[in-house]
Amino acid sequence: MNDTINENSDIIKVGDLVLVYVKERTSWLISVHETYEFHTHFGVIPHIDLINQKYGSEYELPNGKKALLLKPSLRDLINFFKHQSQIIYPEDAAIISLFTGLRDGLRVIEAGTGSGALTAIIAAQLMPSGKVYTYDIRESASNTARKNLEKAKISNVEFFLHDVREGFFQDQVDAIILDLVDPWEVIAHAWDALASCGTVCIFQPTYNQIEKTTLALDNHSFKRIEVFEMMRRDIQIKKGAIRPSTRMIGHTGFLIFATKTEKTTKTEETTKTEEES
């Protein structure tokens, strides 16, 4: 995935973004301005201190702790996005990217926009000539996402304030990605908007939703229906005690993928009842 900012310079200048990093949950994203200062619980960082420093160099905080001045990646920028709702987890976003085949030049629909975290990840992979059409029903979500993406310098996104249960404004798109409560209401519109062999991806947190969604996919002749979940297990790096961390996020959501083909008869797999299988 691309770094989206500060790509060409190793020296921090006015207007650049810097990740002042002590450790994973103790770091700050600063947009550098000559006269500003940044207040942290480790003391005040005058922005002027950062100007002309080299990215990757060490910086001493007012309390004597050492920080690193890092070039923020897209992952870092998203960590500092303003939240409107639960954002997509990296392990889910990564597999969504692979299974929908995201690459430069594609046209992709996404709903709902939420805070724009998944929008940013999709858009970064479609650059420079591809585009995301992102839909949300809530103006506040759309506005927050716009600001988040502006900060991340991602511009190949068109925003729509619209209930997608009423349909999409595009057709012949390469993929459709849905992260909203009732996607089974949107499957017919997804079929109409997708190009042949296009992929629909649906992210949902509960088993109850999966049943409704997969039935809707089958009823609309989608094929190659797959459902699974991703789990990330962190490993503690400690001398003499390298082992899985005792804490873990046990559930993010389920992922459903399906492909639009020519309308054919139902597949055996999806039409089997419980007794038959």
Q: Which chain residues interact with ligand SAM by CB under 6 A?
A: 84-88, 111-112, 114-118, 135-138, 141, 163-165, 179-181
- For residues 192 and 63, give the distance between their C-alpha atoms in angstroms, rounded to a whole number: 59
User: What residue number has its CB nearest to ligand SAM?
Assistant: 112
DSSP assignment of 4-72, as one string? -SSTT-SB--TT-EEEEEEETTEEEEEE--TT-EEEETTEEEEGGGTTTPBTT-EEE-TTS-EEEEE--
Minimum separation from the CB atom of position 228 to ligand SAM (A): 18
CB of 250 to ligand SAM, least distance (A): 18
Closer residue to ligand SAM (CB): 119 or 214: 119
3-state secondary structure 202-265: EEECCHHHHHHHHHHHHHCCCEEEEEEECCCCCEECCCCCCEECCCCCCCCCEEEEEECCCCCC
Cβ at position 84, least distance to ligand SAM in Å: 6
18/121 with CB nearer ligand SAM: 121
Of the pair 49, 185, the CB lying nearest ligand SAM is at 185
> Which CB sits closer to ligand SAM, 135 or 184?
135
d(CA 47, CA 34): 6
Shortest distance in whole angstroms from residue 29 CB to ligand SAM: 17
To the nearest whole angstrom, how small is the minimum distance from the Cβ of residue 226 to ligand SAM? 20
C-beta of 136 vs 174, nearer to ligand SAM:
136
CB of 67 within 8 A of CB of 22?
yes
Name the minimum Å distance from CB 165 to ligand SAM.
Answer: 5
Rg value, the chain, Cα: 22
Tell me whether residue 111 or residue 175 sits nearer to ligand SAM (CB atom). 111
